[in-house]
């Protein structure tokens, strides 16, 4: 997709996100944390989200219930190339914007690789929208109940159960132990095939609907009595999901418990799993499900004990989830990378510096002729001297001076050189300023849309910001663009 950010401008980049969607908590530590980082929570404008979803087009609806649902989820793409999921509440939801914002910010402070994290919201006029990470590989309901290529393997079902328990334990540890209407539609699969729990269910109930499905057969008994969700109610719903994983069907708990009490648990098991699990493992998972489904809430296990119990059942732990799921998995590293692409993948800034220094300005379209002409114009000489001094500082690895000189050259407004943007981008990266670096890499692409170096540098910046999935995609775009150029 050669020009991913061709409509991007630095003015848009600095003004539209409050704070930038590309900010990361790890930046406070110099971007050197070994833990994965995510975008900070941001407040989006309605127009941004309308543009990202193509005007909330029905073609972009990804929620299971479509337009008739009270709250519809859309797939969208921001101008900076990031895919998002946008949940749009109906007009009666969240009448108090302050309550909505406070709740969204609280949920948006959570960050885990077991969650589809909430990265922003919008609360303009009557509009109430939530913005989360978009996960591309469907829901657990799709893979369990409506599979096409292959049924979900036993090892993957055990992994789903564990990851889901870990998500609930993490939320509980952060004081967000209540999850509304936990079900197989709330579990999504990311690019690597790993299951993650949707953050939308962590929002407290608003005026527009009930916390639980209207199907009373799956509703926790205490919710039927009191209308309140408790941590024990969430564990009950987790038990119904264990039944889903065991059976490959949505079985009412009362029916399942009758089979379990009659020691006919094998009748619960998905016939597609026959011969692929041991009776001991099946018995243990059934036992865990029955504990979660106890009528008395106090007799149910907590999230932490669920994690402990499920950890010991895991199989094929060395096999990636996308392999177990049979999901195609493309990464830039599986493609033959150029030296610059390889350096960006490895975040080898020294190698990137050497390559950019050797490249010089030969890739600037028409820049040499324009510079040559401008040398004859005396009033341009000072601006051009700034570029020359910037190049000298860049070669000497005096990146602070390079930034200052290149900035003065660009602020002169006589011309925009993609190479100057690229060199200042690397200077920013060397100075631990990845957001500024990303802005320059994108602007380099605006000036020269068919220049692969701009995409490679965007990938390096995204890696630095901890946005690995977007970085891999951008690196792949750069590799494909370079291959296309080389064929000409």
- Strands 129-133, 118-122: pairing kind: antiparallel
Q: Kindly list the distances between the CA atom of residue 228 and the CA atoms of 94, 199, 210, 223, in Å, as whole numbers in the listed order.
A: 18, 19, 10, 5
Instruction: Supply the angle between the helices 253-261 and 279-292 in degrees, to the nearest 10.
Output: 130
Please pick, among 181, 244, 440, 477, the residue that the annotation labels catalytic: 181
190 flagged as catalytic: no
Contacts of 79 (CB under 8 A, 6+ apart): 5, 7, 8, 12, 16, 51, 52
Distance CA 475, CA 268 (A): 46
* Count of CA atoms in the C-beta half-sphere (13 A) of 214: 1
Go through 206-223 and write b for each residue having 16 or more CB atoms within 10 A of its CB, e for each that does not: beebebbeeeeebbbbbb
Does residue 393 contact residue 402 with C-beta atoms inside 8 Å?
A: yes
Active site (catalytic) residues = 181
């Amino acid at each position: 997709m050669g020009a991913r950010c061709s409509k991007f401008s630095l003015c848009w980049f600095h003004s539209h996100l409050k704070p930038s969607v590309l900010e990361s908590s790890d930046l406070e530590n110099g971007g050197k944390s070994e833990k994965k980082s995510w975008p900070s929570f941001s407040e989006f404008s309605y127009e941004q989200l309308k543009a990202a979803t193509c005007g909330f087009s029905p073609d972009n609806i990804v929620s299971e219930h479509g337009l008739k649902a009270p709250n519809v989820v859309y797939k969208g793409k921001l101008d900076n190339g990031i895919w998002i999921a946008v949940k749009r509440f109906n007009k009666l939801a969240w009448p108090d914007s302050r309550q909505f914002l406070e709740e969204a910010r609280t949920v948006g402070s959570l960050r885990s690789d077991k969650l589809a994290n909430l990265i922003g919201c919008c609360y303009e006029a009557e509009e109430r929208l939530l913005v989360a990470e978009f996960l591309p590989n469907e829901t657990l309901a799709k893979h369990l109940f409506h599979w096409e290529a292959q049924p979900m393997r036993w090892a993957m079902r055990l992994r789903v159960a564990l990851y889901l328990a870990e998500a609930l334990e993490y939320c509980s540890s952060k004081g967000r132990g209540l999850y509304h209407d936990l079900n197989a539609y709330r579990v999504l699969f990311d690019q690597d095939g790993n299951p993650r729990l949707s953050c939308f269910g962590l929002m407290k109930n608003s005026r527009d609907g009930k916390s639980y499905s209207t199907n009373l057969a799956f509703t926790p008994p205490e919710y039927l009595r009191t209308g309140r969700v408790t941590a024990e109610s969430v564990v009950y719903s987790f038990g119904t999901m264990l039944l889903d994983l065991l059976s490959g069907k949505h079985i009412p708990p009362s029916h399942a418990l009758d089979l379990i009490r009659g020691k006919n648990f094998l009748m619960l098991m998905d016939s597609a799993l026959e011969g692929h699990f041991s009776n001991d493992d099946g018995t243990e998972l059934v036992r865990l499900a029955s504990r979660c489904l106890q009528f008395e809430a106090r007799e149910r296990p907590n999230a932490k004990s669920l994690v402990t119990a499920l950890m010991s059942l895991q199989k094929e732990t060395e096999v990636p989830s996308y392999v177990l799921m049979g999901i195609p998995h493309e990464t830039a590293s599986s493609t033959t990378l150029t030296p610059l692409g390889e350096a960006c993948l490895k975040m080898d800034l020294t190698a990137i510096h050497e390559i950019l220094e050797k490249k010089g300005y030969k890739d600037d379209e028409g820049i040499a002729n324009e510079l040559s002409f401008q040398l004859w114009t005396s009033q341009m000489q000072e601006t051009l001297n700034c570029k020359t001094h910037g190049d000298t500082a860049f070669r000497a690895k005096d990146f602070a001076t390079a930034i200052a000189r290149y900035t003065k050259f660009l602020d002169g407004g006589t011309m925009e050189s993609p190479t100057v943007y690229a060199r200042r981008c690397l200077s920013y990266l060397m100075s631990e300023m990845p957001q500024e670096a990303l802005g320059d890499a994108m602007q380099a692409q605006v000036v020269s849309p068919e220049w692969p170096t701009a995409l490679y540098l965007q990938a390096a910046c995204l890696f630095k910001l901890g946005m690995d999935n977007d970085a891999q995609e951008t690196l792949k775009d750069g590799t494909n663009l370079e291959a296309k150029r080389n064929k000409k």
